[in-house]
Amino acid sequence: MAPVRRPHARTLAACLLAVPLLAGAVPGFASESVNGGGSPDVTRSLVKVYATKRLPDLARPWSKLPSAEVTGSGMVIAGRRILTSNHVVSYTSTVLVQPEGSSEKLRARVVAADLGIDLAVLEPEDTSLFAAYPPIAISDDLPDVGSPVAVYGYPTGGQSMSVTKGVVSRVEVTDYFDALALRIQVDAALNPGNSGGPALVGDQLVGVAFSVANSTQNIGYLVPTEEVRSFLNAVDKGEAPAHPRLPISRQTLDNAALRSWLGLETAGQGDVITCLESEVDDYPLKKWDVLSAIGEHDIDNSGLVELKPGLRVAADYFVPKLVHDGRVPMTVMRDGKRLQVEVPVAGAPDRVMKPLNGSYPSYFIVGPLTFSIAYLDHLPVLKTVLDPFLWRSSPILSRATAPSSFTGEELVLGPARLFSHRIAQGYSVPPFPVLKAVNGIPVRNLKHLVELIRDSRDRYLVFEWFDRDVESLVFNREELLKSTDEVLADNDIRNAMSDDLLPTWQGR
| Helix H or strand E encompassing 259 | helix 256-261
Q: Is 87 among the catalytic positions? A: yes
Q: Is 448 among the catalytic positions? A: no
Which residues lie closer than 8 Å to 54 by C-beta, 6 or more apart?
A: 64, 65, 66, 67, 68, 91, 92, 93
323 in Cβ contact with 342 (< 8 Å): no
Q: Please choose, from the candidates 124, 81, 132, the residue with its C-alpha nearest in 3D space to the C-alpha of residue 105.
A: 124
The active-site residue out of 73, 90, 195, 483 is 195
What is the C-alpha to C-alpha distance for residues 72 and 195, in angstroms, rounded to an integer? Answer: 5
Question: What single letter denotes the amino acid at residue 252?
Answer: T
The active-site residue out of 118, 175, 289, 467 is 118
Query: Distance of alpha carbon 214 from its chain centroid, rounded?
Result: 17
Q: Please choose, from the candidates 45, 39, 91, the residue with its C-alpha nearest in 3D space to the C-alpha of residue 64.
A: 91
What is the C-alpha to C-alpha distance for residues 225 and 322, in angstroms, rounded to an integer? Answer: 19
Query: Distance of alpha carbon 77 from its chain centroid, rounded?
Result: 24
- The SS3 of residue 150 is strand
Q: Is 147 among the catalytic positions? A: no
Which residues lie closer than 8 Å to 258 by C-beta, 6 or more apart?
A: 1, 2, 272
- Main-chain phi, psi angles of 387, to 5 degrees: -55, -50
Number of H helices, E strands in the chain: 11, 29
What is the C-alpha to C-alpha distance for residues 124 and 500, in angstroms, rounded to an integer? Answer: 32
DSSP readout, 335-392? TTEEEEEEEEPB-S--BSS---TT----EEEETTEEEEE--TTHHHHHTT-HHHHHHT
H-assigned helices in 67-202:
86-89
- The SS3 of residue 49 is strand
The active-site residue out of 39, 73, 87, 362 is 87
The catalytic site residues sit at 87, 118, 195
